[in-house]
Amino acid sequence: MALAGLQSVHSNRYEDRVMNFKCCGHSGFKTDSCNMTSSLNALDRELKYSVPEGKVITGWISEYFSKYKDRRHWMILCDYST
């Protein structure tokens, strides 16, 4: 399975983001050589990232920092084949 879509909406109630992920895959889809990225953003900064060619996102990790009311994000990227 790989990430095919992402929706993020800010919740004023929680002062955090609610994220929804859409995954996809098909028979014969294989991943290999998975690694976690370094942090994709600094606190209170924009997250802007392009997945390298030949890679797919298979995981997403985030950590909330209440002092900043923000998150840092990491991805797990894998090579893939069909």
* The predicted structure's pLDDT at residue 46: 82
* The predicted structure's pLDDT at residue 17: 81
6 domain-assigned: no
User: Domain residues for 76?
Assistant: 24-81
* The predicted structure's pLDDT at residue 64: 92
Count structural domains, the chain: 1
Q: Taking the complete model, does pTM exceed 0.85, yes or no?
A: no
- Identify how many contiguous H helices and E strands the chain contains and give both numbers: 0, 5
19 domain-assigned: no
Residue with tokens 């992402």: 6
Query: Phi then psi for 65, rounded to 5 degrees?
Result: -115, 105
* The predicted structure's pLDDT at residue 73: 92
* The predicted structure's pLDDT at residue 29: 86
Residues in the chain where the model's pLDDT stays below 70: none
- Any bridge partners for residue 21, and if so which? 6
